Structure formats: structure tokens, C-alpha cells
A and B are shown apart, each in its own frame.
Chain A
Amino acid sequence: DAGVTQSPTHLIKTRGQQVTLRCSPKSGHDTVSWYQQALGQGPQFIFQYYEEEERQRGNFPDRFSGHQFPNYSSELNVNALLLGDSALYLCASSKLSGTVTDTQYFGPGTRLTVL
């Protein structure tokens, strides 16, 4: 049973560029959340997707956008990259049952470096 997968594993971009990160959830999961983890910090919630819609977002600017596909996989897009966007981007998947969401399982992350 494959866990959460993310691609690419590493990425180097320059300021002003755009980036797309991808995530495939664990089998049986329908909800995908994205987190940003800067060096020395805990992960910060970016947003969560369910039924192809953004349910809620954290304190991140509109430069951060996402999408969820019918097969539950998801993309995170970041436009107009800043140096401060350099971080580990984590995808987590979970299963929504009624109004309760199960434990979130994390993928290995994509390490983004902005030069």
C-alpha cells in the first residue's frame, strides 16, 4: 500500500519564477493538506482540499494556490517566488468520515530553494 508521494523531491528556482508541486494521497484518502516548513520551524498550514475544493487556508498570500483532481491528487502552485519561500513543502492526506477527519499522514516533502 503506497503512502503519500510527492514530486519533485528537490527544486531550485530563482526569484519571480513560478513553481508547481505535486502530491498523491495514500490509498483510500480523499483529503489533502499542504504545509510549509521553514528551517528550524514547525510546519505551517497552507490550505486543505476536499472534493476538489479549497476548504480553508492558513495565513498565506494569494501567490499560493492549489488544485485537487478527481483522483484526489493535488498540486500546490506558488507564483512570483520570493527568497522567503525557500522551505520544505509537505503534503498530508487523510480520510473524511462525516465531519471527522482521520489522522493526517505526511509525504516526504519537496525541498524548494529560491535563489
Chain B
Amino acid sequence: RKEVEQDPGPFNVPEGATVAFNCTYSNSASQSFFWYRQDCRKEPKLLMSVYSSGNEDGRFTAQLNRASQYISLLIRDSKLSDSATYLCVVNDGLTGGGNKLTFGTGTQLKVEL
């Protein structure tokens, strides 16, 4: 079983649509959780952290369910500029500090006119 699993997509949606991405992780001791966005042939960039209480940043809402080891990302009112690959990321702390990020394979989103 992969440490972080995501549906690779692609998700093709019309502009203005709401789209949801899901992710599961296998390490119950994982410490923190993130969604990163990666544009084609570019580096990953932090989109948002994910908390059990749920958190929102404009059109983006992220949710964590520790009991189910499940992470979600909801994008409302999709824009053409949202087209990218969305990476589900889990932070496994290292002994003595430091951290190691474990990435899913990413979910590709294409927003169309």
C-alpha cells in the first residue's frame, strides 16, 4: 500500500465548477498535513496546511480526518488559473527534529471554458 494515495485524475471541469480531491495516508503517527500545488515543469508550492478543525482560504477548503486517515481539498468557483497538479503531502517527523515530506502522486486538474 502506498504511504499517500490520491486519484491521479485528470479532473476536467468547467469554469465555475466545484471540485473535490481526496487523499488517504497510511502512517497514523504522521504529524502534519498539507496540499501543495505544482504547475507543469515547476516546483511544488504550498497551497495550504490542513487541520482537523478544517480550514478555509478563499475558494479553497481543506479538511483532515485523523481517525480515517483521510484528507480532502475542495475548490469552489474554479478558475482557469486553478489548472495544475494538486499534491497531498504528509509530514512525518524525524527523530530529534526535522521532518520528511511524503507526497502522493498528485491529482491533475484541468479547468476549461
Contacts and interface: CB of A to CB of B under 8 A. Distances in A.
B96 A99 contact: yes
B73 interface: no
A42 to B, nearest CB: 3
B105 A109 contact: no
Given A56-B98, A105-B46, 13 more contacts: A31-B98, A42-B104, A55-B94, A56-B100, A88-B41, A94-B99, A98-B97, A103-B34, A103-B46, A104-B101, A106-B44, A107-B43, A111-B41
How many chain A residues sit at the interface, stated as a range, is 20 to 34
Contact of B100 (A45, A106, A108): A45
Interface of B: 4, 34, 41-46, 49, 87, 93-106
Contacts, number: 65
Interface of A: 31, 33, 35, 40-45, 48, 50, 55-56, 58, 88, 90, 92, 94, 96, 98-101, 103-109, 111
